[in-house]
Amino acid sequence: MNDSILKPEPSPILRWTVLFFISLAMFGNYYLYDSIAPIADLLKRDLGFSDANIGSLYSVYSVAAIIVLLVGGIIIDKFGTKFSILLFGAICVLAGFVTAIAADLNMMLVGRFLLGIGSEPLIVAVTTALAKWFKGKELSFAFGINLTIARLGSVSADNSPTWATGLYASWEGPLMLAAGIGFACVVGAIAYYILESSASKKYQIGQAGETDKINFKEFFKFGKSFWFIVALCLTFYAAIFPFRSFAIKFFMEAHGSTREFAGFLNSILPLSAMIATPLFGLLVDKVGNRALFMMFGSILIMPVFLIFAYSSISLFVPIIMMGIAFSLIPAVMWPSVAYIVPEKRLGTAYSVMTLIQQVGLAGMNWLIGFANDSQGASAANPEGYNLGLWIFSILGFFGLFFAFMLRRNETGPNRHGLENPTGKRD
């Protein structure tokens, strides 16, 4: 008899301890990524960075992510989750320190490129580890908790001007703080390495299967509904995340906000998603109409950027509208793929979505920075931000168009059941 059959399953306490430590690694990862936005104006003042330079700090991350996605999960499959989480967590820590000690754009770009190389496969490795430990148990809930702790990293970074005010006299302090917090990637990884190494000798741990990889032969086998979702994914994230890249600087220079209040406004998006995304997911599972909900989220996105540009209404109004959309669309969009793509092609489908999303982020972060520079966006010329805000609004229009096309396809003869609560075609 196989010895593994005789091994007991790990206790709930052990599983939730594992969840805590790998989520800690994700917390550090998310904090590092979002550490640039609160100092965007300081980089411009102290180092002479243009907005295009600042945008490139995000774009180069996405370029690295694209390279990693094209390579696939080879390292994770070959060396296992515990080694992969430690390796990629260490790369994230190195990236944080390279970025913090860089005094010129090129070295800072190297740091952000390294972050993309470490961050994206770290997310895949953590997801794989969760599947190993929680599959057949509380997997969906564990994913939700993991994402909540990870997004706390974004919320903490956005609000760092409030709780670490003394460091914001220059750009160095906040980036050294981020590098220090980034050590959570390695602390969590080491703890997980020890836990899995010990547990594998005593307990029967599940098998997660292979990580998602891109299979180019599968590209032409996806139907119209899938590509409408991919197009919505591209336009939605290309509007939301590049806006967040410049939002704190924008709120300060165009609306006269303090750095602390601007950071708080920016943090509302991940904070609202932490709370509302699971609730929207439960709602859609009950009532269906997934494409219709995506249309509603797209409608909310369209006007918010023009409200920022031309209205004197409280900033909380457009931010709350954006927060609802940021919670609603992902809650519906990503699970919808599982209803319209066969399970054997699901890994490729999600990899394609993520790849195209990163291509959009790479281009749009730089484009918005270039638009701001071309219009002379600054505190002295807040109208210079309007071109970028119009670009975001146009993306919102295209997002609504793709959501409408998805709705039309899913209410026609080629529907997959996306609008039914059960996801089954009637």
Mean pLDDT, the chain, integer: 89
Residue 118 domain boundaries: 8-211
Q: How many H-runs (helices) and E-runs (strands) does the chain carry?
A: 17, 0
Any domain includes 3: no
In a domain, 264, yes or no: yes
Nearest CA to 65 among 138, 7, 5, 117? 117
Maximum distance among all Cα pairs of the chain, rounded to whole angstroms? 76
pLDDT at 213 over 80: no
Residue 88 lies in a domain: yes
pLDDT tier, 211 (very low <50, low <70, confident <90, very high otherwise): low
d(CA 360, CA 244): 15
CATH number at residue 26: 1.20.1250.20
pLDDT at 16 over 70: yes
Calpha distance 168→180 (Å, rounded): 16
Could you give the 3-state DSSP secondary structure of residue 213? coil
Looking at residue 98, its pLDDT comes to 97
**Both tokens assigned to 102:** 């860089």
Do 28 and 165 lie in one domain? The reply is yes
pLDDT digits (tens, 9 = 90+) for 366-401: 999 999 999 999 999 999 999 999 999 999 999 999
Kindly state whether residues 174 and 237 are assigned to the same domain.
no
Residues 228 and 196 in one domain: no
Same domain, 239 and 130: no
Return d(Cα 22, Cα 125) in angstroms, integer.
10
In this structure, are residues 365 and 58 in contact, taking their beta carbons and an 8 Å threshold?
A: yes
Q: Which of 194, 211, 228 is the last residue of a domain?
A: 211
**What number is the average pLDDT over the span 239-259?**
96
**Region 135-141: what's the mean pLDDT?**
71
Count how many domains the chain has: 2
Is the pLDDT at 56 greater than 80, yes or no? yes
Question: pLDDT value at position 206?
Answer: 63
Domain end: 190, 211, 232, which one? 211
Q: Which amino acid is at 195?
A: L
Instruction: Find where tokens 């010129």 sit.
Output: 104
Nearest Cα neighbor of 200 from 340, 292, 80, 49 is 80
Are both 317 and 419 inside the same structural domain? yes
Q: Does the pTM of the predicted model rise above 0.85? A: yes
**Dist. CA 333–CA 321, nearest whole Å:** 18
CB atoms inside a 10 Å sphere around CB 426:
7
The residue among 112 and 345 whose pLDDT is bigger is 112
Q: DSSP character for 384?
A: G
Same domain, yes or no: 226 and 352: yes
Same domain, yes or no: 364 and 397 = yes
What is the pLDDT at residue 5? 56
d(CA 357, CA 232): 10
Q: What is the pLDDT of residues 404-418, one digit of tens each?
A: 999 999 888 777 777
C-alpha distances in Å from residue 239, one per residue of 8, 298, 318, 388: 48, 11, 14, 10
Identify whether 342 is part of a domain. Answer: yes
**What pLDDT digit, counting tens, does each position of 160-181 carry?**
999 999 999 999 999 999 999 9
Final residue of a structural domain among 211, 241, 266: 211
What are the b/e assignments for 328-345, b being 16+ CB within 10 Å?
bbbbbbeebbebbbeeeb
List pLDDT tens digits, range 315-360.
Answer: 999 999 999 999 889 888 888 887 888 767 776 788 788 889 999 9
Mean per-residue pLDDT for 198-224?
Answer: 71
Query: What residue type is assigned to position 303 of the chain?
Result: P
Q: What is the mean pLDDT of residues 288-317?
A: 92
Report the pLDDT averaged over residues 34-50. Answer: 95
Q: How far does Cα 316 stand from its chain's mean position?
A: 22
Residues 390 and 310 in one domain: yes
109 near 55, Cβ under 8 Å? no
Separation between Cα atoms, residue 170 and residue 87, nearest integer Å: 31
Is the pLDDT score of 4 beyond 60? no
